[in-house]
Amino acid sequence: MSLLQASRKSGKLYLNPVPTKIGGFSLALKLLPQYLWNREQTEPRRQLGPFPTDASVYTVPPASGLRVTWFGHSSSLIEIDGVRVLIDPVWDERASPLRWFGPKRFFAPTMPLAFLPPLDVVLISHDHYDHLGKATVRQLARSQPAVRWVTSLGVGRRLRGFGVDPELITELDWTQSTVVAGLRIDCLPARHFSGRSAWDRFTTLWSSFVLAGPQHRVYYGADSGYWEGLAEIAAQYDGFDLTMLEIGAFNELWAGIHLGPDGAARAFEAMGGNARAGLLMPIHWGLFNLALHGWRQPIERLTDVAREKNLGLWSPRPGEPTEVVTGQAVQSGWHLDKR
């Protein structure tokens, strides 16, 4: 039986595509001593950057037909076959409900939101603070009043509350699709969870997505632990040009909901490796302190694994619009400055 099915609920709460345990109070008790005695450099010793984006680049279409600007963590602008898709934008200072407390950005936004080119779609995978910035959404709703918003079931009410026109919001269940400006956006399962407080977990859906244009295809894994459905997702498509998988905010205690670098390499291989999954773009790292590992550890470990397994790693500098060309790896090494 296929693992790729519409979402299911238990009462009012969404379920993962495969059984998944999410930590509660007992996990917090296990983690507290680790946080208290952790000696990893979980944050840079100085603020990183600046990493300025040259907005004039967007006046010229990408020669390859596919260009990505990674703004840090999971926020990216994907220009694919003439369509511009902004994914999980967080320009907010903190990934937190509070302005004065919570994980703070390691570097400033690479460009003001107002300098973004006209967008066709803003894609929101789920409602966690590091993927859905309240202030960011409010500003985008004003500066890009005609843009379409595509998201997972239930997240639309968050967007409406932040000022997005309800007529511009499309909510998708797993296995559903929508088309914007000729680009098909397929909503697919992920192994994670949702919520913006301890009291609303699982009340909205979380998803991964495929962007399928006439010439190019991109898989955006969003947040997910490893599961066998990843291989099934890849088998449904005639290959990807770019596969975006998360590597940060990982710990073995919550391996069911985050891949980490080794999990990302495993997932990439399960999806067909270089031959079918294209290039591996690591996301969900380098901007916020959300775990116990050193802030560089995810990319350093993935770089080692990619070298061992001959995986095509595609990791551009933050804020730098970079073309995706078949078989051409990108390893900017921006994180190597040890100051």
- Angle at which helix 260-270 crosses helix 297-309, to 10 degrees, equals 40
Once rounded to an integer, what is the mean pLDDT over residues 75-83? 98
The sheet with strand 208-212 has its strands ordered as 177-180, 183-188, 208-212, 217-220, 242-246, 279-283
| More confidently predicted of 253 and 190 | 190
What is the pLDDT, as a whole number, of residue 140? 98
Banded pLDDT at 331 (limits 50, 70, 90): very high
Structure tokens at 77: 């602008």
**pLDDT of 191 over the 80 cut:** yes
pLDDT for res 62: 98
| C-alpha count within 13 angstroms, C-beta hemisphere, residue 6 | 6
How far apart are the C-alpha atoms of 126 and 319, rounded to whole Å? 23
Q: Determine which helix (DSSP H) or strand (DSSP E) holds 299, and give its type and residue range.
A: helix 297-309
Mean pLDDT of the chain: 95
Q: Please give the distance of CA 126 from its chain centroid, rounded to a whole number.
A: 10
Spans of all domains in the chain: 48-336
Query: What proportion of the chain, given as a percentage, has pLDDT over 70?
Result: 95
Chain segment 94-138, per-residue pLDDT in tens: 999 998 999 999 999 999 999 999 999 999 999 999 999 999 999
Which of these ranges, 20-24, 132-136, 170-174, 264-268, has the smallest mean pLDDT? 20-24
In angstroms, how far is CA 228 from the centroid of its own chain?
A: 20
The total number of residues shown for the chain amounts to 339
Q: Cβ atoms within 10 A of the Cβ of 163, count?
A: 13
pLDDT of residue 22: 84
| Bridge partners, residue 210, by sequence | 186, 219
CA end-to-end span of the chain: 52
Global pTM value: 0.96
Phi, psi of 248 (to 5 degrees): -105, 180
In the CATH scheme, what architecture does the domain 48-336 have? 4-Layer Sandwich (3.60)
* Residue-wise pLDDT tens digits, 147-162: 999 999 999 999 999 9
pLDDT score at 252: 86
Q: Is the pLDDT of residue 34 over 90?
A: no
**For residue 45, what are its two tokens?**
């010793």
Let me know: does 252 contact 287? Beta carbons within 8 Å: no
